[in-house]
């Protein structure tokens, strides 16, 4: 029997996932949590075999929760279950120690397969998510030691961030970027913040100036 803690800020989603998992017969949801702080508290109390966590939660998100649980309990398996196929979320989940990443529209058989895989010590990143991880690794490996665009841009900014940076440079608004990419404005704003943080600039004027003064950065974002 696999004992799991389930973290998601939507009660109806938690209840549905719990029914789905426990119907399989070998998974027991021992506790539910509506945010990261509550999830960590339940993990501390119950020492489950598995934590299943959403990404977007109040108080503490799934990425921070993953990082803290992985640091405190190396043997507990962590499976991220999210509606977001965003490259940055996927890469950060892997970086912070998640054993797997699934989208919420996944089928029940794949969900159970993913749980069994991570519980046996494997990593499980399905379909396109796995491709994102592979491509990110290959992009990092392809950057030559002396190449600023390879080592400092392509390995620092995700493919999605480079795409958004190019649109920002060309004067496209957050709303229009969101519409073009099929994302929410809030998601684009988060990307924009992360881009500026990674490139160590404080505002858009500094960002544009940095691009104008750096040919390798222009090349990396196809300008």
pLDDT tens string for the chain (223 positions)?
999 999 999 999 999 999 999 998 899 999 999 999 999 999 999 999 999 999 989 889 999 999 999 999 999 999 999 988 777 788 888 888 999 999 888 899 999 999 999 999 988 887 666 555 545 544 444 443 333 444 455 557 788 888 899 999 888 999 999 999 998 888 898 888 888 888 888 888 888 888 888 777 777 777 6
Distance CA 104, CA 111 (A): 9
The pLDDT score that the predictor gives to residue 132 is: 56
The pLDDT score that the predictor gives to residue 62 is: 93
Q: Do 13 and 120 fall within a single domain?
A: yes
Q: Do 121 and 164 fall within a single domain?
A: no
Distance CA 33, CA 114 (A): 21
Q: Do 175 and 67 fall within a single domain?
A: no
Q: Do 8 and 101 fall within a single domain?
A: yes
CATH of the domain at 182: 1.10.10.10
Q: Do 149 and 126 fall within a single domain?
A: no
Per DSSP (E only), the strands in the chain are 2-7, 27-33, 50-53, 77-82, 100-103, 124-125
């Amino acid at each position: 029997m696999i004992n799991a803690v389930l973290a998601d800020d939507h009660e109806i989603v938690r209840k549905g996932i719990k029914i789905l998992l426990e119907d399989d017969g070998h998974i027991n949801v021992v506790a539910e949590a509506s945010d990261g702080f509550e999830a960590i508290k339940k993990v501390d109390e119950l020492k489950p075999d598995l934590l299943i966590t959403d990404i977007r939660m109040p108080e503490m998100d799934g990425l921070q929760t993953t990082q803290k649980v992985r640091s405190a309990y190396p043997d507990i398996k962590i499976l991220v279950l999210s509606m977001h196929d965003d490259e940055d979320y996927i890469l950060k989940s892997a970086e912070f120690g998640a054993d797997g990443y699934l989208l919420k529209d996944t089928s029940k058989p794949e969900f159970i397969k993913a749980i069994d895989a991570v519980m046996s010590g494997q990593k499980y990143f399905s379909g396109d998510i796995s491709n994102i991880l592979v491509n990110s690794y290959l992009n990092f490996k392809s950057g030559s030691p002396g190449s600023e665009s390879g080592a400092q841009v392509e390995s620092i900014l995700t493919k999605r961030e480079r795409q958004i940076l190019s649109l920002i440079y060309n004067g496209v608004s957050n709303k229009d970027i969101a519409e073009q990419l099929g994302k929410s404005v809030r998601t684009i704003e988060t990307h924009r913040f992360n881009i500026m943080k990674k490139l160590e600039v404080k505002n858009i004027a500094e960002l544009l100036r940095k691009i104008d003064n750096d040919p390798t950065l222009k090349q990396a974002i196809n300008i």
